[in-house]
Structure 1
């Protein structure tokens, strides 16, 4: 069990440390822990909703499953938690802060999801999941947090940027899952370049947020 917990948490801690240390003025560790744990708790209500939708056998359409059963609920709840716990917090006073907190919430969610998957399917999947599901959640969090930062710290297009903080991660997450569900055993050949694109998008936003004045 210790090995599974270690393998499940290690990629999240590594990614969170990477994005945290790129912040010019680091955020309080206590707040990072709080947002991480809040994201972790999100797994359980979302899993329940997804279980109900799946057990009711509403549809076998991969597009609907990818974008609405998975991406919509996961990204909406992460977006909602960000607004509820961080957006109006006094510590959220820099554009890059949005990225730190977005990544923290997303990786809290990804950690629990990853641990549950490894318990069910085996620790041999840990390496693959570190590069794909866990990393993708972190990158969705970067993009979400970037637009929350723009919404809070620029005087124009506030509502539109808050909308983009949900919409862009939702679309990217939907595409990610659609590739997994629809391609079959060859998913890695399509998903690998998609992950490269996600990293490119995320790192551009990291650079932009750190240059924001």
Structure 2
């Protein structure tokens, strides 16, 4: 059991540290980051109940509906909901990059608990591939969600609703594509590899843009 917990937690902490240390302006309070991580852990339980209920009723059983609704929509919506109501309106969310830090922490909390259940069921031998794919993909979806939340909060007010919508829509679509590749493609690895490269490229681009926005905003403040 200890090996399973360690194998589930280690890649999540490594990724969380990576994106946390990418903040070029000011680091977020660790207590708030930890709280967001725990919220992500707790999200697994209601989502599993909802997914199980749909499965028992024979609903959302096609590969398309499982990928885009049962997995992607439920998971990304609940993560977005937690971020919006516990972080977005909080005083600690005070620069655009903060959205990425908290988006990643909630997503990795979820991925860690999901990983524990998976490794308990199928064995710790799968820990490495789980770290490369599900855990890292959740982190990257969190980067993109957090980027648009940061842009919504600190961008133009007239764009706020659209950006909030994008903060859910884009991670949902990307998550759905990820799961659909796993569900229906016989040679899924040949599609997953370029898709994961694209996800990393997109997420790191958002990290750079969020940091640039933060620095530029701070420079403007220093003029007054």
TM-score by length of 1: 0.98
Q: Residue in 2 aligned with 1:86?
A: 87
Q: Residue in 2 aligned with 1:105?
A: 106
| Contact 2:60/2:69 (8 A) holds in 1 | no
Give how far 1:57 is off: 1.5
Separation in structure 1 between the aligned mates of residue 100 and residue 14 of structure 2, nearest angstrom: 15
Give the total of aligned pairs: 212
**CA 1:143 to 1:109, structure 2 compared with 1: closer, same or farther past 3 Å?**
same
Match of 2:160 among 150, 158, 161: 158
Separation in structure 1 between the aligned mates of residue 4 and residue 71 of structure 2, nearest angstrom: 24
Q: Residue in 2 aligned with 1:172?
A: 174
Matched residue SS, 1:27: coil
Give how far 1:55 is off: 1.7
Q: Residue in 2 aligned with 1:13?
A: 13
Q: Residue in 2 aligned with 1:119?
A: 120
Give how far 1:115 is off: 0.8
**CA 1:165 to 1:4, structure 2 compared with 1: closer, same or farther past 3 Å?**
same
Greater than 4 Å deviation, 4+ residue runs: none
TM-score by length of 2: 0.93
Give how far 1:155 is off: 2.1
Tell me the C-alpha RMSD between the 2 structures: 0.8
1:35-57 deviation line (CA, Å, top 9, x unaligned): 00001000000001001111211
Matched residue SS, 1:60: coil
Give how far 1:60 is off: 3.2
Separation in structure 2 between the aligned mates of residue 42 and residue 19 of structure 1, nearest angstrom: 21
Give how far 1:83 is off: 0.7
Unaligned runs of 5+ in 1: none
- 55-64 or 83-92: which moved more? 55-64
